[in-house]
Structure formats: C-alpha cells, structure tokens
Amino acid sequence: MVAASKIAILAAGATGALGAHLRAQRPILDAKPKMLDPFGDKSAGMQAPTFEVINKTDIEVRSTGKCICPLGTFYDWQRGACAAQKSAGDACDAFPQEHFAQICQDGLMCKGKDGKTSCMACTEEDDCKQGEERHSMTCLNSYQLVGDACVTVK
C-alpha cells in the first residue's frame, strides 16, 4: 500500500512572536493521543500495525531575510497583525518579555520594576540602536516553505 500526503510544517525552535505563540499552544500539543480502533480484521486490537517507510521527503524552510512588519511597527501576536510601536509611558506588560526589544519606538525601551514595565527613554548604558539597524536586528523574520512533504510506506 502506498500513501502520500502534503503537509504544512512550522520550523522548530521558532523565536520572537511566533515562538511565544507556539509556547502558548504547548498544552494543546502535549495532549495525550486517543486510542484508535483496531487496524484491519487480523489485528483485533492486539498488535500495532507494521509498516516500512520506503521514501521520505521534507519541506524546506527558507528565511526570506525580510521582516514581517515594516519599520515603525512590530508583530503583535495577540492580534495576529503588525501594530504601531508604543510611545513613552505605554505599558509593555501585556507582551511576552521576548518582544520587549520591538515594542517601543526608537529611543525608548521596555523598563520597569516590580513586574510593571513601560516604554522609557534609553540611557547610554542601554546602548539602544535606532532606525533600520534596530528594526532589522529585532524584527520577526518571514519564512517560506518550499516543496512537498511526502512519505511512501509499505
């Protein structure tokens, strides 16, 4: 018997907004599998089906080298869209800490005490980058999935 299917995959080790989103989904991914009905007449549920992988090809994941959002914006994973960077005094608390470098406008960064963080002016010690340099260093990159995933089994 030969079975082939196309599947979409998401690269492991995702960072930034995508990584935070995937980590939020972790309980769903860790759910226990459900028992399947027995395979065929002969197994009677007593034996797992046996198969041999004959051929396997994977989808290739390529970075486009481009940011998902334009300069002056960041990817807001809760809304699933680009949002304008926050002004001085705006709260950062609603976002995962991994996003803090992207949330505030140039010259500002997420700082705070006692779990309360907001966009505050950068100091010399902070060594804040600005403009396109900062954006390209901190933005969430887009990726392209190329090819087909296919498995041939016997």
Strand positions, DSSP E, 31-113:
53-57, 60-67, 73-76, 81-84, 108-113
The residue type at 26: R
**Predicted TM-score (pTM) of this structure:** 0.56
What are the pLDDT digits (tens) for 102-121?
A: 999 999 999 987 778 999 99
CA distances from 23 to 63, 81, 92, 110 (A): 21, 18, 19, 22
Residues 6+ apart with CB under 8 A from 21: 77
pLDDT tens-digit series, residues 34-85: 555 555 555 555 566 677 888 899 999 998 889 999 999 999 888 889 999 9
